[in-house]
Structure 1
């Protein structure tokens, strides 16, 4: 099921974006979407192939991008209203790279909240200490990246099922970079050349299963806490990099049932998009269509003492990338 798309005065920046759509009872297909919410079926104008996908387009991105620019300005191409179609996650990646502890204010808040036993210093002193640690980390340390599963991805307006075992499901709105060229051991300076565009991700997490209770020395259990089906609402669009002037200064806003929970700029990131992409590429080969999630700012449910439950509606938006709306539905016991 899906909910009505979130209202937006400007769905995305630039003259066009990529999407994956389907007509009722029809197969999914790659589409060019314009800001006035008209759709061009890219199967009919680029390849005449029912097997064409957004990921295949990204595999030929340097040649495809100029053709998309031309199509966006070609008034003779058939266009249909977006309202006729269902919007899916814009791409099916082979790999999902996720980031933790990458927003300065968020990590400082965590540092202050988790006071060591016997530490009676005032909050201002502990906050200043945390800020100094963040400065050193940005200058000298490395990003924290782990792997997510593509099977956790769902559409930007689809319902999200909360598993019965998830005791503390939480939200994490994030900017996601979409890779457009194979990238391996690329430098920070050249990293953004390998990014085709950006989209919105909500990286849901069950806080109760992040750490293994049966064997604490193992540490984090990202498989269980983050990869339930539907735990990564994605999209609605992939907006090309050329339409986003500065990915390191975009506003992220997440509202829960209309109340603002997260509201921060990507300029608060400790490691910016280029550093994240470069770092991931030092160990792995990034492939076209892969996602690099860049972390989530302050304002998660654990901060507010209010976690997700049946019937909640999340509205997530990022400057220039549009908005997603997802409803939480409790798993029905079998």
Structure 2
């Protein structure tokens, strides 16, 4: 099942079940409401009712899609978690960690799958990173690797936009360079875990103005999704709606200096999950 947050003609945000090229409004199904984060713990029990809903059908082309989860308690990313990406980072003089290296993306950076993203006033080094986003469905702590899949609600496409000079030079941690406003486009909807046979067997691509910049697969992860959840939950409680950005394949702009410019259109897509497309605009 695919669940989206959407608006119709400037109206309020609603939840919808994506059905082909339509979205079916499910917000009036008892127990659903308009917050995906609030819905996630009860979604298994409401699944049949959500699947049966057929009122308020809209063409996807006629609605505005919002970030599936716009208000997670945590938006976390892992650095250099793809083998080829780690090698290109090493070649660019970026240190490669020996263990899982996690950072915060502040939740204020989240925008929708078609929203504009800002080229910062203070930097010319805006970079792209297509990533598989994992959305947690169950409050959890100390999760064994072999049980980690049971706490996953589903998956989204993330572009983990990064401001390289603030990421590697202007701050001793990654948080500032990863958290500029609008630098967390997410979407286009939540694809529930049962629709993904293996999250480690998905092709992911990113293009800029139609030119492919990144083309890889989630099978190149150094630490797989389940190892990531097990590692994090040794430290903290993950909550329903928390988003984990699980790393990016090679092809980022930093090694070549090909950074994003005003007017660029960046499309990030993952097999089976859909695509997000965002235009770069000057920061107001």
Q: TM-score, normalised by structure 2?
A: 0.93
* Contact kept? 2:124, 2:259, Cα under 8 Å: no
1:25 aligned residue (10, 30, 43): 10
Query: Alpha carbons of 1:252 and 1:26: their partners in 2 closer, same or farther (altered >3 Å)?
Result: same
CA drift at 1:113:
4.1
* Contact kept? 2:130, 2:158, Cα under 8 Å: yes
Matched residue, 2:81: 102
Query: Alpha carbons of 1:83 and 1:165: their partners in 2 closer, same or farther (altered >3 Å)?
Result: same
Give me the whole-angstrom Cα distance separating, in 1, the residues matched to 2:124 and 2:46. 45
Give me the whole-angstrom Cα distance separating, in 1, the residues matched to 2:118 and 2:9. 22
2:215 aligned residue (247, 254, 263): 263
* Contact kept? 1:148, 1:223, Cα under 8 Å: yes
1:85 aligned residue (53, 58, 63): 63
User: Does 1:62 pair with 2:44?
Assistant: yes
* Contact kept? 2:267, 2:276, Cα under 8 Å: yes
Structure 1 unaligned residues grouped into runs of 5+: 1-15, 117-133
CA drift at 1:101:
0.9
The CA deviation string for residues 227-270 of structure 1, in whole angstroms up to 9 with x for no partner, is 11110110001101111111001111000111100000000000
Matched residue, 1:219: 172
1:171 aligned residue (125, 128, 143): 128
CA drift at 1:167:
2.6
CA drift at 1:40:
1.6
Matched residue, 2:194: 242
CA drift at 1:66:
3.9
CA drift at 1:212:
4.4
* Contact kept? 1:103, 1:298, Cα under 8 Å: yes
Matched residue, 2:269: 317
CA drift at 1:84:
2.4
- Higher normalized strand content (fraction of residues): 2
Give me the whole-angstrom Cα distance separating, in 2, the residues matched to 1:176 and 1:238. 10
Larger-gyration structure (1/2): 1
User: Does 1:188 pair with 2:145?
Assistant: yes
Structure 2 unaligned residues grouped into runs of 5+: none
Query: Alpha carbons of 1:212 and 1:301: their partners in 2 closer, same or farther (altered >3 Å)?
Result: closer
Give me the whole-angstrom Cα distance separating, in 2, the residues matched to 1:66 and 1:285. 29
Query: Alpha carbons of 1:110 and 1:39: their partners in 2 closer, same or farther (altered >3 Å)?
Result: closer
CA drift at 1:85:
1.2
Give me the whole-angstrom Cα distance separating, in 1, the residues matched to 2:129 and 2:55. 39
Q: TM-score, normalised by structure 1?
A: 0.80
The CA deviation string for residues 19-64 of structure 1, in whole angstroms up to 9 with x for no partner, is 0001122111111111x22222112223485xx3111111323313
Matched residue, 1:161: 118
Give me the whole-angstrom Cα distance separating, in 2, the residues matched to 1:195 and 1:67. 21
* Contact kept? 2:155, 2:192, Cα under 8 Å: yes
Query: Alpha carbons of 1:86 and 1:109: their partners in 2 closer, same or farther (altered >3 Å)?
Result: same
* Contact kept? 1:57, 1:64, Cα under 8 Å: no
Matched residue, 2:260: 308
